[in-house]
Amino acid sequence: MSDSMLPHPAPTAKKTFSVADFKVFGERYGIDYRFPLLTDTCASSSPVLHGDVEEMILPSGISLTHSDVRVLQPYETTSRHSSPLYVLVVLEGCVTLTLSGNVYVVRPGMAFSARLSEQQAMSARHDADIALKTLSFGVYPDDARRENLLASLLAQWERLNAPTFVWQVPDFVLAGIQHARQRERSSLSRQLLLEGVMYQLLGHGLHLREQEGAARVSAAGGEHARLEQIRHLLAQAPEQEYTLAQLAAQAAMSPSSLRSKFRQAYGCTVFDYLRDCRLALARRYLLEGHSVQQAAWMSGYQHATNFATAFRRRYGICPGAVRNGC
């Protein structure tokens, strides 16, 4: 189970989770929780989360958790359980993870994958007053229910010695996740849809790792670090104007090399990634109460009409509906 998720006893109703609930779940799933703002050790009734969390075991043996919550007070987690493959997809909000001393910031539309063990514990930090929608799944070690396709994928993952990494989830997979999350479907229908989406996501992640492994063999040293520098620049300041030539010069590559290598590493083009970062930033501005024009301008769009079109294509609703809380 994800260290940022909690099991929901009644998936059709929202619930407030308290410190006491977290302690129970921590003992059950091998997770340590910390609440930095709580000084009273007896504050077991203090609320931490409000929302809807659903957990299920898919027929393949994948343990899946879907979360749609608002964080009421900051908390930190440290996972002590083992999993040969753990994946977290962030649909809304932002999750900061630390593993082996490295910090990973997982933003909307991105996935994080890693191998977890008692010797390689993962910690996460969640800030207060944020909405968080995530889908996480893991595989239990030596699960007898594991089907052949999943076993083959894990074996290939092991052969690649795939390290922890973050990648952009393709739009068609994100759309599939949103489709499978619809609660009006029967339990069997949702399980089948989620099973298919999980395999699409894993297949895409595996392809990226295979490509990156092949690129590492032939690439000059430090190439991945330079790509990460470009990705980090776009993620941290998406409102700025960029050209491919400017970014290529900063990465010490030709424009064509940056274009192809960025796609190989992250599964999308440089400017597709920039667009998604701008739209995520604009969405945060809208939720804070800024007008559509203000959100467009502050996130790097010169024309509100172009912004509205891109926003509707990415999120399925117009930006005005987000601002009005629809």
Question: Of residues 3 and 312, which shows the higher confidence score?
Answer: 312
In the chain, DSSP finds a helix count (H) and a strand count (E) of 11, 12
Rounded CA-CA distance 53/263 in Å is 33
Q: pLDDT tens, 105-136? A: 888 889 998 888 777 788 888 888 888 999 98
> pLDDT (tens digit, 9 = 90+) per residue, 215-238?
554 444 578 888 988 998 998 889
Supply the pLDDT for residue 5.
39
Q: What is the pLDDT of residue 256?
A: 92
Q: Rounded to an integer, what distance in angstroms lies between the CA atom of residue 165 and that of residue 266? A: 10
Neighbouring-strand partners of residue 104:
97
The string of pLDDT tens digits covering residues 254-283 is: 999 999 999 888 888 999 999 999 998 998
**Superfamily the domain 15-216 falls into:** Jelly Rolls (2.60.120.10)
More confident residue, 96 or 81: 96
Residue-wise pLDDT tens digits, 55-81? 888 777 788 888 899 999 889 999 877
Categorize the per-residue pLDDT at 207 as very low, low, confident or very high, splitting at 50, 70 and 90. Answer: confident
pLDDT, residue 325, reads: 61
Q: Where are the domains of the chain?
A: 15-216, 221-326
Q: pLDDT > 70: what percent of the chain?
A: 88
pLDDT at 44: 84
CA–CA distance, 258 with 245 (Å, rounded to integer): 9
Confidence band, pLDDT 50/70/90 cuts, at residue 42 = low
d(CA 133, CA 113): 17
DSSP string, 46-80: -EEEEEEEEEEE-TTSEEEEEEEEEESS-EEEEE-
15 has pLDDT over 50: yes
Residue 67 CB partners (closer than 8 Å, separation 6+): 2, 4, 5, 6, 51, 52, 53, 54, 132, 133, 134, 135, 136
Q: Please tell me the predicted confidence (pLDDT) of residue 134.
A: 92
**In terms of pTM, does the model score above 0.75?**
no
pLDDT of 215: 55
pLDDT score of 104:
85
Which residue, chain included where needed, has tokens 């390689």? Answer: 120
Give the pLDDT score at 234: 92
Predicted local confidence at residue 103, as pLDDT: 82
pLDDT at residue 324 tops 50: yes
The CATH H-level superfamily of 221-326 is: Homeodomain-like (1.10.10.60)
Q: In sequence order, what DSSP letters do the residues of 186-203 get, joined into one string?
A: -HHHHHHHHHHHHHHHHH
Q: In what order do the strands lie in the sheet with 110-116?
A: 15-18, 47-57, 62-71, 130-139, 83-92, 110-116, 165-168
